[in-house]
Every structure is written in structure tokens, then in C-alpha cells.
């Protein structure tokens, strides 16, 4: 487990990895017939010296500006950078700071959970609240988790006459210590509010630890202590914690990171591009909206690759042509870490299992970490996927009980981008094929 005493330390080491299943953006017409292998966005060997020459033309400082502007690998640096999450930040501030609830922030990878919590921490810091951050690891015991946290509470939060007793109790807190013992120590905190953020909470799989934390949160709330926890993780976090004490629901503020609106994606892209002296035209923004499916991670990643492609051509206005090249680069990069899924996606995009259109619809349903019901399942609150489509995606999909999801939650957007590329390449090929037939 890693611990951070400041927002800056926390953000410096976090990697913010991540589509809208109900998107109202229509999918373009798709080619039903199989297409030639050479139009798929496979990695093509560059001519000798091409990459180095390109980098030399761009200059290291220009590349740095693009990477820094889109900042794919880090949470946002300023509150103003958190596009489309203002309501979520307000709900978390209201619930945790003013109503004194514990907080749960849930959502898929790349949805901006860490960025949201970081901005929340900035506002809390400004109000003199002690904010501590941790990233969870599976296998951690309750005693290890709480001991590391208790050691971070400043002595200034405790009565001067009780500092030695406080320090001694923390030292005696060990692997076998209980939630009641933790609350006894926390009850000595009097002169500041303390909030601890447990990021990547869904990495903890131990039901016993879930139950002990649930008991701890309930005891803290019942005793009205100036200590709250904010848990950050996937969709299961709420159930993992609340199931131990259902009455805890009234002491929890729950915030979910839903897909960003098209307007928010536009604002995000414009903000990033302006920082490196570039801009997107409307066609480029529209295409990126369509393939990112409301995911801020994919919008930044696809936008970054598009900006690099534009700059390689000496352009400052990023057009649809640059986006197409950028999506190709982004897919090849993703495929290098997901070779099996990439092979499945290439076959589907090439039409080897029929028209890719139905598969794109499935991907949109499951984008942004979404789930769907298997046709034989009984969870009718989820959209249903036909068995043939599930089989077509093969191992790229995971069936967990009655639900279906992508095993890589960031994958749907890459598949949608790939189909877009293949469709456009097919349209370019059609005139040439027609000309050959007329010869």
C-alpha cells in the first residue's frame, strides 16, 4: 500500500486509465462485405529514418506541449480542468464536507474518478481539512490498512495532554485489532476534520475486510466523529461496503461518473488543443465525440494522437483526416498490449462474421464499463445481447453469472474506432474497384 500526505504526491503517482451505450449519435453505415486485409489498421513498417526525421521536424518541445496538454496518464491538475464533472464534485462536497457522510465514488476505468476526487481534495484542503490518500492493494489486512492511516493523523488534531496516549494506542494497533479499537483512537481527534480517500478500493477482495470497514464506517457515523472515508473504485464498491450494514446507506453519499455529454467532450478537446497552440475543426470534434462514447480518457487519448498526426504534417488545425490517422495509431498502440482482443476486433471489423453494425451497437451498450444481460439471463434491468453476437466477440467478452462485459473495460471504444477506420477505408476502395471493373 502506498500512502500520500498531500494531493500533489497522490496525483504524481496515479495513472488514470478507461462510451455511452445510450449515445444519440448515429453510427455511420457499415460495409457488410468482407474487406481486404491490407485496409485494416495494422502496424506498417516505416521507411528508414522516417520516425526520427518526423521527431526532428516536430522538435522535442512541441511533442512535450502536446503530451502535457492532453495529459492522458495523469489526473487533472486544476479544478477548471475537470470538464463535465461539476455536479459530481458539488454532490461529494455537499455530502462529505457538510452532511458529514462517508463518500463512495464509482465508475469504470478512465471515467475520471481520480480526477474528481483530486479536485474534491483541493477544495477540502482550502478549508483546513486534513485529507489523506491511499491506493489499496489486495491482501492488505484491516490492521495494516488502519495502522498506516492512523499514523498519518497529525498530533495537532489531538489534545496536547492526550498526544502520548494517542501515539501509544496507534503503536499498539496491530493485525488483530478491531473496528471498535480503531474508533477508540479516532475519538481522540478533536481539532480538525479528517478525510481519508481509499483509491482503487475494488482491488480489495477479502469479504472480511469489507465487513470490518463497513462496521468501522457505521461506528464512526453513530459516534459523530470528525472522520470520514471516501472510497473510489468500480461499480461493485457500494455493494461491497453497504451489504455488511444495510443501515449504512443513510450515512453514505454515492457519486457515479457517468459518460460526458457531447458538449463536455467538445470543451475538453478545445481546452487541451488550445494549450498546445492547436484547434479541432467541427468535423474532427464530431468524429471524436462519436468514437469516445463520452469517455474522457478516450477523448484525451484519441485527441492526443490526432494532434501529433496534425503536427507531423505541419498543421495547427486538427481535421478529420488527422483524426483518422490518430485513431489508427491509437488502435495499434492498444493492440500491442491486447493482441488477442485486437485480432478478434479486426476479424469482426472486416465483416468475417457479417455486418459489423450489430457488433458496434453491442460495443456502444458496453462502452464506459457497461454491462448487459445474456439472452438466457434473468436480470431484465440490463439490455440483452443476442447469443450470436456474444459468440462473435469470443474471449473479448466475459460472462459473469447473468451479465456480460468486456474483459478490458477500455476496449469497446477501440473497437468502435476500428470499425470507423475500416468503413472509411472501404469507401475509399470502392471507386478504385469500380474503375477496375470498367476496364
Domains of the chain listed by start with CATH number? 24-74+261-431 (no CATH), 85-256 (3.40.50.300)
Q: pLDDT digit string (tens) for 296-336?
A: 999 999 999 999 999 999 999 999 999 999 999 999 999 99
Sites in the chain below the pLDDT cut of 70: 1-60, 74-81, 244, 369-383, 429-439
Bridge-partner residues for 229, per DSSP? 196
pLDDT for residue 358 = 93
pLDDT for residue 326 = 97
Instruction: Give the predicted TM-score (pTM) of the model.
Output: 0.74
Q: pLDDT digit string (tens) for 323-370?
A: 999 999 999 999 999 999 999 999 999 999 999 999 999 999 888 766
Amino acid at each position: 500500500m502506498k500512502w500520500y500526505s498531500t494531493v500533489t504526491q497522490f496525483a504524481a503517482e496515479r495513472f488514470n486509465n478507461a462510451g455511452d451505450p445510450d449515445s444519440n449519435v448515429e453510427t455511420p453505415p457499415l460495409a457488410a462485405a468482407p474487406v481486404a486485409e491490407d485496409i485494416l489498421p495494422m502496424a506498417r513498417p516505416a521507411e528508414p529514418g522516417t520516425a526520427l526525421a518526423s521527431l526532428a521536424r516536430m522538435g522535442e518541445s512541441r511533442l512535450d506541449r502536446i503530451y502535457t496538454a492532453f495529459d492522458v496518464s495523469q489526473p487533472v491538475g486544476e479544478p477548471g480542468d475537470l470538464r463535465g464533472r461539476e455536479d459530481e464534485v458539488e454532490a461529494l462536497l455537499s455530502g462529505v464536507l457538510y452532511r458529514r457522510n462517508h463518500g463512495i465514488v464509482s465508475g469504470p476505468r478512465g471515467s475520471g474518478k481520480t480526477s474528481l476526487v483530486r479536485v474534491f481534495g483541493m477544495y477540502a484542503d482550502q478549508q483546513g481539512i486534513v485529507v489523506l490518500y491511499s491506493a489499496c492493494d489486495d491482501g492488505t489486512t484491516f490492521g495494516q490498512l488502519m495502522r498506516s492511516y492512523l499514523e498519518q493523523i497529525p498530533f495537532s488534531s489531538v489534545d496536547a495532554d492526550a498526544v502520548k496516549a494517542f501515539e501509544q494506542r496507534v503503536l499498539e494497533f496491530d493485525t488483530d485489532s478491531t473496528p471498535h479499537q480503531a474508533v477508540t483512537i479516532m475519538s481522540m481527534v478533536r481539532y480538525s476534520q479528517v478525510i481519508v480517500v481509499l483509491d482503487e478500493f475494488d482491488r480489495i477482495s477479502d469479504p472480511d475486510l469489507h465487513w470490518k470497514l463497513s462496521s468501522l464506517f457505521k461506528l464512526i457515523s453513530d459516534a459523530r466523529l470528525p472522520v470520514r472515508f471516501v472510497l473510489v473504485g468500480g461499480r461493485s464498491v457500494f455493494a461491497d461496503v453497504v451489504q455488511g450494514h444495510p443501515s449504512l446507506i443513510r450515512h453514505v453519499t454515492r457519486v457515479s461518473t457517468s459518460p460526458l455529454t457531447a458538449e463536455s467532450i467538445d470543451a475538453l478537446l478545445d481546452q487541451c488543443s488550445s494549450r498546445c497552440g492547436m484547434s479541432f475543426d467541427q468535423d474532427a470534434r464530431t468524429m471524436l465525440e462519436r468514437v469516445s462514447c463520452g469517455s474522457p480518457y478516450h477523448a484525451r487519448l484519441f485527441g492526443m494522437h490526432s494532434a501529433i498526426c496534425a503536427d507531423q504534417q505541419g498543421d495547427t488545425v486538427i481535421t478529420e483526416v488527422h483524426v483518422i490517422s490518430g485513431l489508427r495509431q491509437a488502435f495499434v498502440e492498444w493492440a500491442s498490449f491486447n493482441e488477442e482482443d485486437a485480432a478478434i476486433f479486426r476479424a469482426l471489423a472486416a465483416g468475417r462474421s457479417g455486418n459489423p453494425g450489430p457488433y458496434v451497437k453491442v460495443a456502444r451498450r458496453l462502452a464506459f464499463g457497461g454491462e448487459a444481460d445474456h439472452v438466457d439471463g434473468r436480470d431484465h434491468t440490463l439490455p440483452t445481447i443476442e447469443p450470436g453476437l456474444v459468440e462473435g466477440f469470443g474471449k473479448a467478452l466475459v460472462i459473469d453469472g447473468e451479465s456480460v462485459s468486456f474483459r478490458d473495460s477500455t476496449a469497446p471504444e477501440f473497437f468502435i474506432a476500428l470499425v470507423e477506420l475500416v468503413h472509411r477505408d472501404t469507401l475509399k476502395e470502392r471507386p478504385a474497384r469500380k474503375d477496375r471493373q470498367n476496364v
